[in-house]
A and B are shown apart, each in its own frame.
Chain A
Amino acid sequence: MFSFALKNILFYKGRSLTTFVLTFVSTLLFVVYVSMMDGSHKSMLQNAIKIYTGAIEIYHKDYRDIGGNEYLIQDTSAILKKISQIEGVEAYTSRYETFGLLSSKNNSAASMVAGIEPEKEKSLSSISEALTEGEFLTEKSGNCIYMGVELVKKLKVKLADEVAFIGAASDNSFAADIFRVCGIFKTGSFEFDLSTSFLSRDYFDTLMLSKNKASYITIKVDDLEHVEAVNEKIARVLDDNLESLTWKTLMKTMVEAMEVDSIFGYISLALFLVVIFFVIMIYGFINVSSRIKEFGVLRCVGISNSNIFSLLFYEIFILSTLAIAVAAPIGGYICYYYSINPIVIEGIAEMYKDYGIISDEIPFDFSVFTLAWNILLIYVLNFLSILYPYFYINSFRPIEASRHV
């Protein structure tokens, strides 16, 4: 039946070419579409985590719900030592965050002021890369403050201007100081840029009496796919009063937005697959309808139904394999190329900033596994598409089919 199917394909060139082109185009579009969908999800996630939130963060159990200096992490260095020995942890740092009032000559604004370790922060977040004016912090930046661009606008300050800070130190005593604006950043997240500013921990700890204390510890993992496994390992080494949370808990809104996006993505994917299926099936049905007499004669002379099915199966198998063999490398290459050299559409980040998009790049994702399941799905759709035509042929009695016009 295989060689018979092959001869049919070669003999009916127009029919075969149309089926080939349909499968080729479907495969190509499907592979590229899935790559874009996966790419945008990964990008949303990576961007969100990259800005400031870590893949994993460690808190005192009541810090997030109640807050306050009573729930700071104590003896941070001992915890960092334990974390450093856990496989899958790529980088980590502790942060001390407090809320206070920043005032310039012209204006005042509430701000979250965070003491960070500038060098470690570079490998954990994109805060340093978000610099637009001035310079990023160093360990010896002293009273330099690194402010969000929207906060700068609100306070009506510029580089080298002074801002006064009033807040509460870690022992709840009064803390006040004068900072100098050394750097301005823009992450693309309006809220973040309006409400956040940073100082080097060395200086900030002295002011806030927060040496070896932290609001939380943030951790970068070597592979986001393994974040849950790493989190479990971390949880095992922590004291009972501490908790370790992944980005999925830390960024619930973001996760919900991604889930909604995923649902719409999968709905459109399903619609896309339905369209592919019906196009191939309807074309297959038209083909089979024009061959009813041929199948009728074959059944008259003694070809069984299973042989007819095999014939249709081999025909679609050969054409699908050829089409996929051409489309998959092309689609794969397109996805691979654009995953390295993303398409840039000016202004897209502004449109989608609420979804954590901070770049004008259209992200693609290349994964051999994704490519494999895409191909498998197209194969399955092609095979399913022969079922209805097959049952249609079988609805004719052999002699009736052999006389079909």
Chain B
Amino acid sequence: MIELQNVHKYFFKDEPREVHALNNINLTLEDGEFTLFSGPSGCGKTTLLNAIGALDEIDSGKIYFDKTEISALSDTARTSLRLNQMGFVFQAYNLVPVLSVEENIGFIMKLRGFSDSEIQKRVLEVASMLEIDNKLKALPNALSGGQQQRVAVARAVAAKPKIILADEPTANLDSKNSQKLMDMMKELNKKEGVSILFASHDEYIFENVRRIVKMNDGEIVDA
């Protein structure tokens, strides 16, 4: 479970161009959620996702991840938390170009110390679920955008994190691939029980999630 209490985040603090990116955010996210942070550009949805993902620091308030206060953790502990508990899907895929599809998918598992046989089994399982099992030996630059994003999702989900944070995952995909990706993520959420949080204003995500947290000017206007 994730809990945010009175979270504030500023950009360019104490400068004339100061932006109050997160304004008194209070939110509880239960295990297994399939939730979208939505709102206009600059409303703070990506900032909120980054704060939950221990990628960015907040200025005040508290964020709890399973009763662990993320905001109080050291950089090393936050890195460890991201590695062991979280999965990330980025708008620009951000695959490791030198690794093949199967190596990209198994990358986090390898870092976490899974055995080679476990990795191989899980990679096959996730790849077939995301319909990229015929591309396992290919390098990312040989794949289409939709395929690369599916590899990114597979990488995020392979090590069985408690939560996946997906920032604009469909922004670079066409409508067909967007729908396909959402169907797959929905299935993962259902099958694997992994919580998935989206930050997006894509209608396909809007239509598929179970919960929508609407934001505007750094505040939650509807949860």
Distance, CA A62 to CA B97, complexed state (A)? 81
**Option from B76, B87, B94, B111 in Cβ contact (under 8 Å) with A297:** B94
0 or 1 for each of A256-270: is its CB under 8 Å from B? (1 = yes): 000000000000000
Given contacts A302-B80, A303-B79, A303-B111, contact A402 B98 (CB under 8 A): no
Contact across chains for A294 and B55 when beta carbons are under 8 A apart: no
Q: How many residues of B contact A (CB 8 A)?
A: 25
Known A-B contacts A399-B50, A402-B90, A402-B94; A300 and B99 likewise in contact (beta carbons under 8 Å): no
Instruction: Give the Cβ gap from A306 to chain B, nearest Cβ, in Å.
Output: 9
Whole-angstrom distance between the Cβ of B92 and the nearest chain A Cβ: 9
CB distance from B19 to the nearest CB of A (A): 15
Q: Are B82 and A307 in contact, with the CB atoms below 8 A?
A: no
Nearest chain A CB to B103 CB, angstrom units: 8
Contact of A398 with B98 at beta-carbon distance under 8 Å, contacts A301-B82, A302-B83, A304-B76 already known: no
Q: Does B182 contact A (CB under 8 A)?
A: no
Residue tally, chain A, CB below 8 Å to B: 22
- List chain B residues, Cβ under 8 A from A12: 98
- For B174, the chain A residues whose CB sits under 8 A away are none
- Flag whether B56 is at the interface (Cβ < 8 A): yes
Query: Which of B55, B86, B97, B155 is the one whose CB lies under 8 Å from A398?
Result: B55
CA distance A402 to B80 in the complex (A): 18
Contact A302 to B79, CB < 8 A, known contacts A8-B98, A402-B94? yes
The docked-state distance in angstroms from the alpha carbon of A293 to that of B92 is 11
How many Å from the CB of B68 to the closest CB on chain A? 15
User: What is the distance, in angstroms, from A245's C-beta to the closest C-beta of chain B?
Assistant: 63
Given the known inter-chain contacts A8-B98, A307-B111, please indicate yes or no for A301 contacting B55, CB distance below 8 A.
no
Question: How far is A11 from B57 in the complex, measured between Cα atoms in Å?
Answer: 34
B208 CB–A CB distance under 8 Å: no
Q: Known contacts A11-B98, A302-B111, A402-B94; decide if A397 and B83 are in contact (CB<8 Å).
A: no
Interface string of A392-405 (1 = CB under 8 A from B): 00000111001000
Determine if A301 and B83 form an interchain contact, defined as CB atoms under 8 angstroms apart. Answer: yes
Min C-beta distance of A298 to chain B, whole Å: 7
A297 neighbours in B (Cβ, 8 Å):
90, 94, 96
Contact indicator A397/B82 (Cβ below 8 Å): no
| Chain A residues within an 8 Å CB radius of B79 | 299, 302-305
Closest chain A CB from B71 CB (angstroms)? 14
Inter-subunit contact B56/A399 (CB<8 Å): yes
List the A residue with the shortest CB-CB distance to B76: A304
A304-B80 contact given A297-B90, A398-B55, A402-B90, CB 8 Å threshold: yes
Determine the chain B residues whose CB is within 8 A of the CB of A402 once the complex forms. 90, 94
Of chain B, the residue at the smallest CB distance from A297 is: B94
| B60 within 8 Å of A (CB atoms) | no
In the complex, whether B108 has a CB less than 8 A from a CB of chain A is: yes
B84 touches A (CB below 8 Å) = yes
In the assembled complex, the Cα of A404 lies from the Cα of B3 at a distance in Å of 30
Kindly state whether residue A7 has any CB partner on chain B within 8 Å.
Answer: yes
Indicate with 1 or 0, residue by residue over A269-309, a CB within 8 angstroms of chain B CB atoms.
Answer: 00000000000000000000000011001111111110100
Complex partner residue of A300 from B57, B88, B107, CB under 8 angstroms: B88
Residues of A contacting B83 in the complex (Cβ-Cβ under 8 angstroms): 301-304
CA distance A4 to B82 in the complex (A): 20
State the CA gap A10–B86 with chains docked (Å): 30
CB distance B56 to A298 under 8 Å?
no
Q: Which of A177-235 contact B (CB under 8 A)?
A: none
Closest to B165 in A: A300
Which residues of chain A are near B96, meaning CB under 8 Å? 294, 297-298
15 contacts between A and B (CB under 8 A): A10-B98, A12-B98, A297-B94, A299-B79, A300-B55, A300-B88, A301-B88, A302-B79, A302-B82, A302-B83, A302-B84, A303-B79, A305-B79, A397-B56, A398-B55
A residues whose Cβ falls under 8 Å from a Cβ of B: 4, 7-8, 10-12, 293-294, 297-305, 307, 397-399, 402
Residues of B within 8 A of A (CB): 50, 53, 55-57, 75-76, 79-80, 82-84, 86-88, 90, 94, 96-99, 107-108, 111, 155
Known: A12-B98, A399-B50. 5 other contacts (CB 8 A): A10-B98, A299-B79, A300-B82, A300-B94, A301-B155
